[in-house]
Amino acid sequence: AQTVTQSQPEMSVQEAETVTLSCTYDTSESDYYLFWYKQPPSRQMILVIRQEAYKQQNATENRFSVNFQKAAKSFSLKISDSQLGDAAMYFCAYRSRNNAGNMLTFGGGTRLMVKP
């Protein structure tokens, strides 16, 4: 079974600064997807960014980018020019391409606080 670990329960960043959230995972599979989801106080999970394991190029979405290190099984999220609206819980998630349900396995989450 796959596991996802987020070692930082809380992180803090000054508005306009850059912050990196860490995620590691354990799998024996070679083909899978990795995701970062944001959960604001409203509780709805919102997709931030996605990475396909077969792609070497790191995914980027505006101010959000990832550092995907497949050999190290590491998938960190970098948020540039942090904004107050970025304050939320961030969850790293893994999805296999090989199981029937293709469900997400989540890490424990990192609470990001943004200071004005």
Partner 1 sequence: EPEVTQTPSHQVTQMGQEVILRCVPISNHLYFYWYRQILGQKVEFLVSFYNNEISEKSEIFDDQFSVERPDGSNFTLKIRSTKLEDSAMYFCASRLLGDATEAFFGQGTRLTVV
Residues that bind partner 1 (CB under 8 A): 33, 35, 37, 42-47, 50, 52, 91, 97, 99-109
Asked if 86 contacts 112 with a C-beta cutoff of 8 angstroms, the reply is yes
What secondary structure does DSSP assign to 47-73, as a single string? EEEEEETT--SPPEETTEEEEEETTTT
Nearest approach, Cβ of residue 3 and partner 1 (Å):
10
- The Cα 107–Cα 89 span in angstroms is 11
Nearest approach, Cβ of residue 23 and partner 1 (Å):
12
Of the pair 82, 93, the CB lying nearest partner 1 is at 93
Nearest approach, Cβ of residue 56 and partner 1 (Å):
17
